[in-house]
Amino acid sequence: MTTDATPPSKLGSSFLNRFCKQSLLDSPTYSIDKFTAEIKIDQNEMPWDWPKKHKEAVAANLVGAAWNRYPDAHSIELNAKLADHLGVAENSLLTSSGSDSILTMLLRGFGNTKIIGLDPSFPVTKIQAGVHDLRFAAWPLDENFQFDLDKIPEIEPGSLVIFASPNNPTGSVLELSALKRLLSSHPDSLFIADEAYAEFHDQDAKALLAQFPNLLSLRTLSKAWASAGLRFGYALGDPAIIAELKKFRLPYAVNAFSSCAVEYFTQNKEIQTWSQSKVSSVKSLIKTFSGETAAIGTAAGWKVHPTAANFFLLSVAETTEVPLLYNHLKTHGILVRNVSQGKGLERCLRFSCGSPEQIDKALLALKAYVG
């Protein structure tokens, strides 16, 4: 026999505490400014979309697919084509809906002892470590936001060392020679290279994978492939690690649209050439954009930090200037990333590369601010 009961009008902390770990309740949510702008240079996206004819070709393939059927649960055909395109063995590749989802798999499956992560860096690593109640130790950058091996915390056997190179939001890189020393000195720890921006730099950790089985490279299509809307990423590493990670990958992790677009890219030389040309353009444009920004801000005490990515970090003279400059740019229809909440970033804004026209408008707005 049951009796009617009045449901609670609002769930309180006592209810949530029955189900959620305190580490989850205490963790922040990753957030981003929802302001829309004519010139959006806040998320490190490519400023150009795919050419229309290639989008239409992908759309035609998608129309031909059966939407009432699930996609390949394990993306077997997609993996084969991507592995061939990358020149790697299929069993050394794991695909999923974004490289950050693979990072979460790693934390769940391999974070049994200690997580070491860059600080400041992409905040998802620290947030997810907190969500999963893992022991996190920060690896601080030096006063110029450069990598410093002397500042790395003790690497215990079984540690998971996670770093982005080029690092977001600083643009700094861990040189391969330094990475090789770490890998050789700590063979019982796993090093995770988040290489979302590797295509904009002249070196990447992929070259070391055959030599060091304790290295994993995370890659994305969001940046160099101009495909942030696809939500697709992959990991490269030793087959034994990939095999264990696959146990955490949910089936059907890559949807039909993403599969169609990625397969098309791997098979079409013209879109690949287009992508490579745009990466070359970004390398040139970000050098110009950062250099002219530095020149504009010299008298105001600004500093533009060296970058190897498709963005640069600007330090203004005072913390109080950050919201002033940020809002000034917004009034001019320009959205940049306010990263001043990060440790050591209290005076910083991050500027992504835009098109030449967008960069010109941003520079005019910066000049107007300085006066």
Question: For every one of its 371 residues, what pLDDT tens digit does the chain have, with 9 covering 90 and above?
Answer: 555 666 666 777 788 888 888 888 888 887 777 778 899 999 999 999 999 999 999 999 999 999 999 999 999 999 999 999 999 999 999 999 999 899 999 998 887 889 999 999 998 888 888 888 899 999 999 999 999 999 999 999 999 999 999 999 999 999 999 999 999 999 999 999 999 999 999 888 998 999 999 999 999 999 999 999 999 999 999 999 999 999 999 999 999 999 999 999 999 999 999 999 999 999 999 999 999 999 999 999 999 999 999 999 999 999 999 999 999 999 999 999 999 999 999 999 999 999 999 999 999 999 999 98
**Is 222 found in the same domain as 357?**
no
Shared domain check, 298 and 255: no
Residue 121 located in a structural domain: yes
CATH of the domain at 230: 3.40.640.10
Residue 316 lies in a domain: yes
In a domain? residue 303: yes
Q: What is the extent of the structural domain holding 184?
A: 52-268
Same domain, 176 and 254: yes
Asked if residue 56 and residue 45 are part of one domain, the reply reads no
Is 128 part of any domain? yes
274 to 55, 220, 235, 271, 314: CA distances (angstroms): 13, 17, 24, 5, 30
Residue 12 lies inside a defined structural domain of this protein: no
Single residue among 233, 268, 303 that ends a domain in this structure: 268
**Does residue 359 belong to any structural domain of this protein?**
yes
Does one domain contain both 90 and 228? yes
Rounded to an integer, what distance in angstroms lies between the CA atom of residue 284 and that of residue 83?
29
Residue where a domain terminates, one of 268, 295, 320? 268
Three-class HEC string of the chain: CCCCCCCCCCCCHHHHHCCCCHHHHHCCCCCCCCCCCCEECCCCCCCCCCCHHHHHHHHHHHHHCCCCCCCCCCCHHHHHHHHHHHCCCHHHEEEECCHHHHHHHHHHHHCCCCEEEEECCCCHHHHHHHHCCCCEEEEECCCCCCCCHHHCCCCCCCCEEEEECCCCCCCCCCCHHHHHHHHHHCCCCEEEEECCCHHHCCCCHHHHCCCCCCEEEEEECCCCCCCHHHCCEEEEECHHHHHHHCCCCCCCCCCHHHHHHHHHHHHCHHHHHHHHHHHHHHHHHHHHHHHHHHHHHCCCCCEECCCCCCEEEEECCCCCHHHHHHHHHHHCCEECEECCCCCCCCCEEEEECCCHHHHHHHHHHHHHHHC
Specify whether 285 is located in the same domain as 167. no
Among 250, 268, 286, the domain-final residue is: 268
Residues 117 and 234 in one domain: yes
The verdict on 208 and 316 lying in the same domain is no
Do residue 32 and residue 91 come from a single domain?
A: no
In a domain, 2, yes or no: no
Q: Are 44 and 338 in contact (CB under 8 A)?
A: no
Domain count, the chain: 2
* 296 and 190 within one domain: no
Q: Residue 162 domain-assigned?
A: yes
Q: Indicate if 45 and 88 belong to the same structural domain.
A: no
Domain match, 263 and 313 both: no
Q: What's the CATH code of the domain at 366?
A: 3.90.1150.10
